[in-house]
Chains A and B, each alone.
Chain A
Amino acid sequence: MATEQLVVAPLLVALVTAILTLVVHRYVRAQKAVSALGGVAYVGAVAMLIQRVRSGAGSHGVEGVLTYQLSNWGAPFGITLVADDLSAFMLGLTAVVSLLALAFSILYVDEAGQRVSYHPLYHFMLVGVTGSFLTADIFNLFVWFEVMLMSSYVLVVFYSGPRHTKAALQYVVLNLVGSAFMLLAIGGLYSTTGTLNMADMARRLADPASFGITLAPVLGLSAVLFVVFALKAGIVPFQWWVPAAYRAAPAPVSAMLAGVVKKVGIYAIIRLYFTVFANAAPMDLALPGVVGESTLAFFGPVLFIMGAASIILGGVAAVNRDNVDDLLAYSSIGQVGFIVIALAFAAGGVVAGWQAPEPYGSVAVLGLAAALVYSLNHALAKAALFLASGAVYESVGSIEFEDLGGIAGRMPLLSAGFFVAALSLVGIPPLVGFFGKFLVFDAAVNAGSNLGIGLALLGAILTIAYVTRAWNRGFWGERSEAVEQATPQYGLFATVLVLAVVALGVGVAFDPVVEAAIDAANAALETGDYIEAVGLEDSLTSDGGGH
């Protein structure tokens, strides 16, 4: 039993930390210490959970899928948390980024801000992210989305200037519209399928006749839900809030938003569309450009178009930005586009059943593994870059390119960290970014998508264009007055360097990572295991064999 309770541990750790930091907020040092300890404990909890999942611990006789029933109310009646390889992968990248961003925050965010609300909000955001990765209940997912939204909203508006307020207003309005859509979809799915539990839903969709379910509305309802996830992931045409919000938020929050919170949208797409909706019984689809009888036949082309538009818009818009954060924000839109086209290849693979060489076996697994590895790369590299931007701000006093120049000579350590992270974005081996690009290419090739290959190349070239431009304007060139008089913040530089070293280390020791990604992809596609591990019951009453 102890193993199963571990599933809820990361969430509880973050929650308790959030509350404790609130309680001790009068004592700044104590608050910082509690916050930092909480961050470390979170990493520890995640590490233990990953270790258990990877070593094959599981529930209901399914290896590697751990489930936990909240309050011991059996599924599908109570709320279920599931930790499988997919959740473990996402939690792993969250743990690394969150700890470093937290360390950076403690050194970076001004004292008053930390005392008021920064630490509780930060840990609440972590609670929301963790809950989203673990839950197997779509209404519960909504709750964690709200937790994430509320905390990130306050963190975006944190500095409370006009620019921040405007960005936060747009952020919160668009995301509240998203929340309304999400409720609509969840309500619709509940009244259509009669359940909220994802495993149960997958089971029912596979056998609609036995449960008296009409399948037809599910496609439209899943489209409503898709809008919400696309909004969270910030892909075109739902990218609107991204640039201003990333620009307004404190650097470590931008690092978390771009590195981790965006990935919640990606994760949700994988979990719901590949694990749940793809399990639905075949349905007749009558739309131009849609071939197949799976929901993914509809979402494959949609993902591809949205990913393509994101790569182009993000890449082009990033080239000529006036400050580091804007450039990084647009870059995020483009980079997530790479993840999304990998998902499109995976969707195509599921629908058409394309084969891929070992160790993937299928294009579906390859595409998902590519998306996951790229997500990891983006989490590490983009977080490092946002932290670097914050470090530049703290040292130099500006992140406008016109005030910068010659940082490389003045602050070589910071520059090295920035450079390595930027190269990971470009995809230079042996950094993890190389493997991200490589797997996307591999997925495109095995999916036979020439258009996809062309797009990925175009996106990569645009990445080189904006990365080199940023480097030339900020880090090389004549040393500006501001840079000359900078006070280097070595503590901040250290966090950037650690992330850069992790990006390098993951690439050099890539084997366990790619194995984890492939297992995660398989976990996403093996709906049967997911259902079995959740252990659905018929009734809650004792005579029904439940509680």
Chain B
Amino acid sequence: MTPDLWVLLALVGLPFLGAAAVPLVYRILGERTAYFAALVALACLGLVGLLYGTEGAQSVDWVPALGIELRFYVDGLALLIATLASGVGVCILTYSGGYMHGEPGQPKYYATLLAFMGSMLGVALAADLITLFLFWELTSLTSFLLIGHYTTESSSQYAARKSMLITVAGGLFMLVGFVLLHAVSADALGSATWALAGEGSMLENAGAMREALESEGLFVVVLALLGIGAAAKSAQVPLHIWLPNAMEAPTPVSAFLHSATMVKAGVYLVGRMRPLFLPADAHPGSLELWTLGFAALGLLTMTVTAILAVAATDIKELLAYSTASHLGLIIAGFGFAGHLGAETGAFHILNHALFKATLFLVAGIVAHEAGTRKISELGGLREDLPITAGIAAIASLGMAGVPPFNGFYSKEFLFHAAWETGAASGGLYYLIPVVAVFGSVFTFLYSIRFLMLFFGEKPDELGHVHSPPVAMLAPPALLAALAAVVGIGGITGTFDVPLGPLEEFVGSVMHAVEPAGAEETSFHYYLPTTVTPWAIMSALTIAFGAALYPQYGRLHDGIRSLLRGPVRANWWYDTATEELNPTSTAVRDRVQNGLLRTYATWVAAAFAVLTFAGYVGASVDVPVPQEPATYLPLALTAVVLVASVTVFGDLSLRVATTVAGVLSVLALGIFAWAIFGLGLTPAELATQPPVVFVLALAAVAGIAVSRAPSHIAGVLTLSILGFMVAIFYILRDAPDLALTQLVVETLVLVIFLLVLDKLPAFYGGWDRGRMARDGVLSLAVGAVVTTTVLVTTAASPNEESVIARGLAEASYPEAGGNNIVNVILVDFRAFDTMGEIAVVSMAALSIVTLIALRERGETR
């Protein structure tokens, strides 16, 4: 039976609506908003209840153009996570009613928690990759806000930023994986899809997807990208480092997000993707690429973080590392092929949520009532908190994996799967079961240590510990009772009276994470009745643990003494984030040094390089004029230039005279060559001198500017250059241009003279290196511009197609004007002129503004 769409939408939407209503509700109910939120969660739990017994996908369009849907899918795995999110949510929100009494920022707290719950339900039910990503990131975001709940604490800020950096960045890696999957699905399914589960989805065509991934060489890449996303979210080594810091959040948040639900998202992803990457014929013990990746990652995390938990000094820190460790266990379970792996993961998700959420709530009671979370300051709490001690006993023995408590059974499955895998491949692979036992010994150790908070001597400093309010006691009691029921189910199961509904449910989860076509196995759990390698592994774990426990203090100190420098993943994170700040400033200072000179240099250089590359790339022929007469003015100009350098340069009289003599001879030679060699008539020659004179004078002025002794002299010489250009225009029959140039030159000269007074007379010395660099650069820019002019003036598009011709033809008959320049300006392209008029008026406005607002800016 397929689920109803409205139930799914209501389920995911309700918490968000609730969150939006919180500010209003808080005005009416005050601190009792907790119970309003718990009611919302309860309603969600009820809606999840309606989904039991259904399976299948439902969707509504979101971005139809891209084939993106809000698509939901219900199966065992989805129901398990959804039940945890809403069920644990009810407990947590109720508990918050007691715990958050008198705390700041409550409306924000409840709104964010509800929004988180909605996001988590979304993750559980999403069956479209983009829908999944949407809710995935929303869980990271709400987690960020909740970790930073105590906004003034710098440790909260540190923790929130760390979690955001790691989980959101991990999510982006996952997104790339999703995009790759989408691209591959085009080949595998005929048309690209974002649908993960349901009709026409990737999971339904897992075989084809796997083939396409392999044939395109993307199998490992996608696996790695999804793995990074899952590892970041589920705190797998070495990305586990954000989780212990996340304990800065209020304890209910730690219990809810950072143990029972949000951190399960990564695990969920691994479970969800398992049927896509595991071949259908995978069986317990078979060694797939998937297994190598995830079993290794999971076992490594399980062991490393269990060891770190033993080194913890704070009860929440201990529980945080323990959470990472158990998530590792689940990942390892899902990593193992076949039904054993599936059983491990599926069952441990449930068991872990039950005992860990309980323990966090217990830790909250301890911290709240005893006023400290330091392990060394706590002990003998049983006297003051008898009920809490009972609850803690059930949960921590489950965590330790002691029969018949709930955690024992799922750990037994792990041992079984590890053993099968090790035995099937033999040799070094026997390390797999060895590591599993090794890591579990530490799990046993810290679990017992946590339990011992309630036993032994009560330190004198502790004083009287109050009993917690019912709102804080009932939720952990309920969760512990459920954990106990699971444990009892194992005992009765041993006598063939299994806990039917539970086994069926876990079986459905298992089915969801098994590849289609895998051998159907039903799920049963019970206490070992025969001697098997995995039963021995369990026994060894407990035996070693019990033997080592008296040495706990030495172990604790020993591990702590090893945790220095680069051994810690935190060292890498802290170094990277701390080094980023000075690096950032160094980069900024080096690049943006505030000097216009640097900026202009780079702009000019980049211009020259890019343009030059463009010309070279297209193999442009630089047209060299063939007519010798062209060179005459150039040659003469060069002669005058050299002469002027001699005159303006700091050369001795003798050198200058010599150069002048040589140049005179050279000039005479050129004239002689022109007349006799090229056969130019003196009449032709007569047209040259004015041009030569004008250009030479302009060039001389250009040089003189750079050698001018004062600003005034510089500006005056500069204006010589400008006037020479104007005369050049006249010689070349462009009186309009000349007029414009003359006006501009005159104005510039006047303005310069007015302003120069205000400038310092002397700027400082010359740097030869910089001068050389600037010289080279200006030559390069000049060369590129010259090339551009030469190349483009040589181009000759067909005469009749050039638009100038059309404009000239139409100038009088159509626009009624004889001067084509005027007609273009005021008619053909009057629009341009309008824009330029705007520019001119703004220039006037700018002067008004600068004068009117002068000095006002000091305050900004």
A-side interface residues toward B, CB under 8 Å? 15, 18, 22, 70-71, 73, 76-79, 110, 112-113, 116-117, 120-121, 124, 127-128, 131, 139-140, 143-144, 146-147, 150-151, 153-154, 157-164, 169-170, 173-174, 177-178, 181, 184, 187-189, 191-197, 200, 204, 210-224, 226-227, 231, 237-238, 240-241, 243-244, 250, 283-287, 290, 298, 302, 313, 316-321, 330, 357-359, 406, 408-409, 423, 426-430, 434, 437-438, 441-442, 445-446, 453, 457, 460-461, 464-465, 468-469, 472, 476-479, 510-511, 514-515, 518, 538-542, 544, 546-547
Contact = CB atoms under 8 A, between A and B. Distances in A.
Interface stretch (B371-379, B439-447, B697-705, B808-816): B808-816
Nearest to A15: B838
Contacts of B161: 468-469, 472
Nearest to A215: B618
Interface centre among B148, B606, B795, B853 (most CB of A within 10 A): B795
27 contacts: A112-B856, A116-B849, A121-B842, A131-B835, A150-B839, A160-B855, A160-B857, A173-B600, A177-B600, A194-B801, A195-B801, A200-B803, A216-B615, A216-B619, A219-B617, A221-B614, A224-B614, A227-B611, A319-B580, A320-B584, A442-B179, A457-B173, A460-B169, A477-B151, A510-B63, A511-B63, A514-B63
Nearest to B792: A188
Contacts of A465: 165, 577, 580
Q: At the interface, is chain A mostly helix, strand, loop or mixed?
A: helix
A231 B604 CA distance: 11
B532 interface: no
A190 to B, nearest CB: 8
B606 A237 contact: yes
A215 to B, nearest CB: 7
A159 B191 contact: no
A219 B795 contact: no
A112 B156 CA distance: 45
Given A159-B857, A428-B141, A212 B796 contact: yes
A160 B854 contact: yes
Contacts of B157: 472, 476-477
B616 interface: yes
Contact of B617 (A143, A286, A457): A286
A22 B838 CA distance: 12
Given A117-B848, A316-B580, A541-B810, A222 B614 contact: yes
Contacts of A162: 857
A173 B595 CA distance: 12
Contacts of B807: 77, 540
Given A112-B856, A191-B793, A216-B621, A227 B607 contact: yes
B66 A453 contact: no
Contacts of A112: 852-853, 856
B581 interface: yes
Nearest to B172: A460
Interface stretch (B284-292, B769-777, B822-830): B822-830
Given A150-B842, A224-B611, A429-B134, A464 B165 contact: yes
B229 to A, nearest CB: 12
Contacts of A514: 63, 65-66
B437 to A, nearest CB: 38
Contact of B810 (A131, A184, A441, A539): A539
A126 to B, nearest CB: 11
Given A147-B838, A223-B610, A317-B591, A160 B853 contact: yes
Given A162-B857, A222-B614, 13 more contacts: A76-B803, A144-B835, A151-B842, A163-B857, A177-B603, A211-B798, A211-B801, A460-B169, A461-B165, A477-B154, A514-B63, A514-B65, A541-B809
Interface in B618-645: 618-621
A148 to B, nearest CB: 10
A116 B832 contact: no
B858 interface: yes
Interface of B: 61-66, 105, 130, 133-134, 137-138, 141, 144, 148, 151-152, 154, 156-157, 160-161, 164-165, 168-169, 172-173, 175-176, 179-180, 182-183, 186, 191-192, 577, 580-585, 587-588, 591-592, 594, 596, 598-600, 602-604, 606-607, 610-621, 785, 787-789, 791-793, 795-798, 801-804, 806-807, 809-810, 813-814, 827-832, 835-836, 838-839, 842-843, 845-846, 848-850, 852-858, 860
B152 A476 contact: yes
B52 to A, nearest CB: 29
A150 B846 contact: yes
Contacts of B791: 188, 192, 216-217, 220
Contact of A193 (B180, B581, B797): B797
Given A120-B845, A442-B179, A320 B599 contact: no
Contacts of B105: 409
Contact of B618 (A143, A285, A317, A445): A285
Top 3 nearest A-B pairs by Cβ distance?
A: A161-B857, A159-B857, A540-B810
A341 to B, nearest CB: 14
Given A196-B803, A319-B584, A157 B846 contact: yes
Contacts of A313: 587, 591
Contacts of B853: 112-113, 116, 158-160
Interface centre among A127, A221, A538 (most CB of B within 10 A): A221
Contacts of B191: 357-358
Contacts of A216: 615, 618-621, 791
Contacts of A220: 611-612, 614-615, 618, 620, 787-788, 791
B134 A547 contact: no
A441 B179 contact: yes
A537 to B, nearest CB: 8
A429 B133 contact: yes
Contacts of B850: 157, 160
A216 B616 CA distance: 9
A139 B802 CA distance: 15
A163 B859 CA distance: 11
B345 to A, nearest CB: 27
Given A220-B791, A441-B175, A511-B64, A317 B588 contact: yes
Nearest to B812: A541
A151 B192 CA distance: 48
Contact of A218 (B610, B618, B803, B804): B618
A25 to B, nearest CB: 10
Contacts of A192: 791-792, 795, 797
A237 B856 contact: no
A437 B174 CA distance: 13
Nearest to A139: B832
Nearest to A462: B580
A81 B843 CA distance: 26
A317 B584 contact: yes
A74 B189 CA distance: 52
A146 B592 CA distance: 25
Given A177-B604, A188-B792, A219 B835 contact: no
Nearest to A191: B792
A157 B852 CA distance: 12
B795 A302 contact: no
A438 to B, nearest CB: 7
Contacts of A78: 828-829
Contact of A117 (B63, B175, B845): B845
Contact of B172 (A150, A195, A213, A461): A461
A127 B151 CA distance: 45
Given A116-B852, A117-B845, A214 B596 contact: no
B65 A227 contact: no
Contact of A217 (B144, B152, B594, B618): B618
Contacts of A117: 845-846, 848-849, 852
Given A194-B798, A464-B168, A477-B154, A187 B792 contact: yes
Contact of A73 (B612, B796, B828, B838): B828
A220 B783 CA distance: 13
Contacts of A318: 584
